[in-house]
Amino acid sequence: MELCDCPVVSHDFADARRVMSECWIYTNTRGLRAMTLHGNGSSMALDGQHLFRWCILDEADGSSIIGYLYSAERPTAELRDRVIALARARFSPPLRSLPNEQFEQVSL
């Protein structure tokens, strides 16, 4: 897990606003929620609380970002595990059954 304080891609302001970001937001009062945001900012304010964007790394790969989490504090191991599970469920290709009951991932 790394704190992300740099933009994903360098764009001018108008282009950056067109970027869609699928991520999660966590606050103590609202809990964990999936969000689709416009732009790719490294921080935001919600309910008067400053949230930072954290990169959640894929434990299986270690070099791949599996999700972005906006949170005021460093995410706990439990919260990171929840985001990893949600990201895999949301973004993984569907599985299809083969005749001998094995499963294979289908490319989209």
**Residue 89, H or E segment:** helix 77-91
| 104 vs 53 pLDDT, higher one | 53
Q: How large is the average pLDDT for residues 85-106?
A: 67
Look at 75 and 13; give whichever has higher pLDDT.
Answer: 75
Range(s) of the domain holding residue 54: 2-105
CA dist., res. 87 & res. 81, Å (int):
10
Number of domains in the chain: 1
Q: What is the pLDDT of residue 101?
A: 57
pTM comes to 0.67
CA distance 1 to 57: 5
Query: From CA 68, how far away is CA 52, in angstroms rounded?
Result: 10
Give the model's confidence band at 95: pLDDT under 50 very low, under 70 low, under 90 confident, else very high.
Answer: low
Using alpha carbons, select from 86, 52, 46 the residue that is nearest to residue 66: 86
Taking only the tens place, the pLDDT of each residue in 49-76 is: 899 999 888 777 767 888 889 999 999 9
